[in-house]
Amino acid sequence: MASASHRRSRLKRRMLVGTAAAAAAGLGTGVFVMNANAGPVDLYHQVLPAKDGWAASGSGTTGGTKADSAHTFTVSTRAQLVKALGSVSDTTPRIIKVKGTIEANTDDSGKKLTCADYASGTGYSLSAYLKAFDPATYGKKAPSGTQEKAREAAANKQKKNIVFRVPSNTTIVGVPGSKAGITGGSLQVQDVKNVIVRNLTFAATEDCFPQWDPTDGSSGEWNSNYDSVTLRGVTNVWADHNTFTDAPFFDSAEKTYFGRKYQIHDGALDITNGSDLVTVERNQFTNHDKTMLIGSSDTDSTGKLRVTIHHNVWKGIVQRAPLARIGQIHLYNNVYDTATVNGYAPKYSLDSRAKAQVVAEHNAFKLPSGAKVAKLLSGDGTGSVAGKGNLVNGTETDLVAAYNAANSKKIKTTVNWTPTLTAGLQTSVKNLVTELSSTTGAGVLG
């Protein structure tokens, strides 16, 4: 791991480069505020640098940098966050500084709420739900009736508390040194534009009331709601230096009902429903199963879903890093550590399907002894993965060739576009694993 002084110098260089890039893009000077000795950085007014992925397209991504003092907030509780976000229809630029960890499962006075609190008064209980929809007696049809309505009522009570709607022209940033983050909550960025989310830890986003679907797959599944961050129908979003984790409650501790795991976690960062022009960089994704979904279905919006994913660390991830559909996705300079962590054993890293056009280049993969390169990819036979310079345990490797040699549904190797928004792309990645271990995730900026 790089020394502290080395880490700081790298970050300072990046910030200075970002300042110049932003100015060149016409986004204004003074975006990154630094003293002559490269001191504290004003994270709250930073904008996405020029050419830094798809989110730099069009007018770029500036978030709430133009916020006045009346729309600049420091929040430490759920109630304060709700007030600062205001109405999702209010597009006035706003900056929200998150200080410390916000617990989403609380009432307006800050009292902790449990799943039992949400279920209270609805008539729902897990034991009654299991009895009502046991496939041995109920059959393989969608749940309906008294207990399903009770589950929905309890779920709606939780949703009202833990889902935070983000308006357009908003910057949400964790205050450096405060262990900033949201526990148990879900940032919903839907049908808006120009949003920045940085320097936050998203942990323990959990659904108290998963729904049983006996028609999901051959054996049925328990399906949960609430991604830690969900992007639906958005344009120009920058997610930078965040940490996503299921901790402290891992899937391995879940019980099994009807032969399937009682899954309380959904996605970490999902990008769906025609979202477009998104840059995801320098985040850490860990201890999670279905991590990032791009495209809600095989018929999501053609011509959109343009996403750049670079300099992220994926470790202890089962799948969807990402699962990509339809869009033009650029993956570069990411680290994929495929060791099993806390019971999260990898199925695959990247899935290209539904005619997705993925360019994956200069990424670094770490495989444990005995793991197969062919397992790094997945696809349905219609998706493409182009690119070069990907290392597996330090050796340049053709990922698609390895996958295609072992599978009948081949991944295509040509795409219909050429990435041009490639700020910061490194063609030499032999030291990437070490570099990103200390320069990604929440708590690094500042």
Catalytic residues: 320
Strands 193-198, 186-190: pairing is unpaired
Q: Which tokens hold the place of 311?
A: 């300099």
Asked if 339 and 368 touch (Cβ cutoff 8 Å), the reply is yes
* Residues near 12 by beta carbon (within 8 Å), at least 6 away in sequence: 34, 38
* Dihedral (CA of 117, 118, 121, 123) sign: negative
For tokens 């009432």, the residue is: 107
Residue 33: closest CA among 6, 12, 8: 12
Paired residues of 280 in beta bridges: 239, 309
User: Rounded to whole angstroms, how far apart are CA atoms 256 and 262?
Assistant: 5
Report angle CA 241, 246, 248 to the nearest 5 degrees.
Answer: 110
Return the DSSP state at 44.
Answer: G
Strands (E), 291-410: 293-294, 307-310, 313-319, 323-325, 328-332, 335-337, 350-353, 357-361, 364-366, 377-379, 384-386, 391-392, 395-396
Terminal-residue alpha carbon distance, the chain: 19
Asked if 167 and 90 touch (Cβ cutoff 8 Å), the reply is yes
